[in-house]
């Protein structure tokens, strides 16, 4: 069994690919699993660390404009397709799967030219350009949100499989995690904006913390991200808030034990990346979603809408975000445990708990039907 995976640039594209690879390796220890990525993407670190071979190609994303840069990138893309054809001829995979990002494009295109079975996994509710362009060429489009169907051609072969989620999220127990984290009975709010940090979100949360910390009514864990960590504590000190005096406020750069922290939370404030939303669904957590406006096709907004329309989350667009609005929204939700419970149940009703198994089954079916 030979599998070639393509995806990268960001953790949101490579982590699902790694989850798929790990699942296959557990069930088929003799499987030959390899990746295609770029020299600069995060896959260059994560894939070798996970123990998989990585082919590297040069390819770049396009901006929707006519420019010399885009013309140059077009020639680089053509060269990348030829490199991928060479890789595929030498490796001879049974199936090729892309998990999004511009690196998926030349790999899947080359595979379809050579008659290899192909699938693409789309993490977001609003599909990326690569997924839409390739949807008529690949054998299967694997979607994570049912809402995605309307963005593809009606003849596209699709399967709803969800987003692969870290198995630790499935088995984290709320009360056990609260005890481990040293929490008391007060509500526990968790907020974060990504590994790099989100400036507007961090500024708003800092002001929100300044509003509520002296009251001591809630426990609050906030991850600032890499860049927020450099200035956010100083912003609070300038507001007269010494975090050392408020043990119920836990500010850190990154939440490494996210499964425990999310399991313990009563309410989560975050961006609307596809994998994060998958975790909220699996764990059945109510949330306030503030989608990033700085992403392609505003796809986080569509992700957030999928949950908010189902009554599983409150959506606040960044342009409307203020500390006062955030505080009012948090206060209203925490004052109504029944609403929080309903939101959590609706989130969990959207979860696909066996996502990786479904993807594995789809890949196996493709191999079984190979001409």
Q: Is 335 annotated as a binding residue?
A: no
Q: Is 12 annotated as a binding residue?
A: yes
Task: Assess contact for 329 and 316: CB atoms under 8 A.
Answer: yes
- Please report where in the chains the tokens 């397709």 appear, as a residue: 81
Q: Is 255 annotated as a binding residue?
A: yes
Q: Is 219 annotated as a binding residue?
A: no
Sign of the alpha-carbon torsion through 60, 136, 107, 26? positive
Task: Assess contact for 107 and 36: CB atoms under 8 A.
Answer: yes
| Residues tagged in the binding site annotation | 10-12, 124, 195, 255, 300
| Residues tagged in the binding site annotation for UDP-N-acetyl-alpha-D-glucosamine | 10-12, 124, 195, 255, 300
């Amino acid at each position: 069994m030979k599998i070639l995976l393509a995806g990268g640039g960001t953790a949101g594209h490579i982590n699902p690919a790694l989850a798929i690879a790990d699942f296959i390796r557990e069930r088929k220890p003799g499987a030959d699993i390899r990746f295609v990525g770029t020299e600069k993407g995060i896959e260059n670190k994560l894939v070798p660390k996970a123990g998989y071979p990585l082919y590297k190609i040069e390819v770049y994303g396009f901006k929707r404009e006519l420019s010399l840069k885009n013309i140059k990138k077009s020639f680089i893309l053509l060269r990348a397709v030829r490199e991928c054809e060479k890789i595929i001829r030498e490796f001879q995979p049974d199936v090729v799967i892309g998990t999004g990002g511009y690196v998926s494009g030349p790999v899947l295109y080359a595979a379809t030219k050579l008659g290899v079975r192909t699938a693409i996994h789309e993490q977001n509710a609003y599909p990326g350009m690569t997924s839409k362009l390739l949807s008529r060429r690949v054998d299967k489009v694997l979607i994570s949100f049912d809402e995605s169907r309307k963005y593809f051609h009606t003849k596209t072969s699709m399967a709803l499989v969800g987003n692969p989620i870290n198995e630790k999220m499935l088995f984290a127990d709320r009360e056990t995690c609260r005890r481990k984290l040293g929490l008391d009975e007060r509500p526990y709010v968790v907020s974060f904006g990504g590994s790099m940090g989100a400036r507007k979100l961090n500024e708003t949360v800092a002001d929100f913390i300044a509003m509520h910390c002296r009251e001591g009514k809630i426990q609050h864990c906030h991850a600032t991200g890499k860049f927020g960590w450099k200035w956010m504590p100083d912003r609070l000190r300038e507001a007269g808030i010494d975090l050392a005096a408020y043990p119920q406020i836990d500010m850190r750069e990154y939440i490494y034990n996210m499964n425990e922290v999310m399991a313990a939370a009563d309410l989560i404030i975050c961006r609307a990346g596809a994998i994060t939303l998958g975790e909220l669904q699996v764990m059945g957590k109510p949330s306030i979603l503030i989608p990033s406006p700085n992403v392609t096709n505003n796809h986080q907004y569509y992700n957030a809408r999928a949950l908010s329309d189902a009554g599983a989350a409150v959506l606040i667009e960044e342009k409307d975000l203020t500390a006062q609005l955030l505080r009012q929204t948090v206060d209203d939700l925490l004052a109504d445990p029944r609403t929080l419970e309903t939101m959590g149940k609706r989130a969990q009703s959207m979860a696909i708990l066996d996502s990786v198994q479904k993807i594995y089954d789809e890949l196996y079916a493709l191999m079984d039907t190979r001409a």
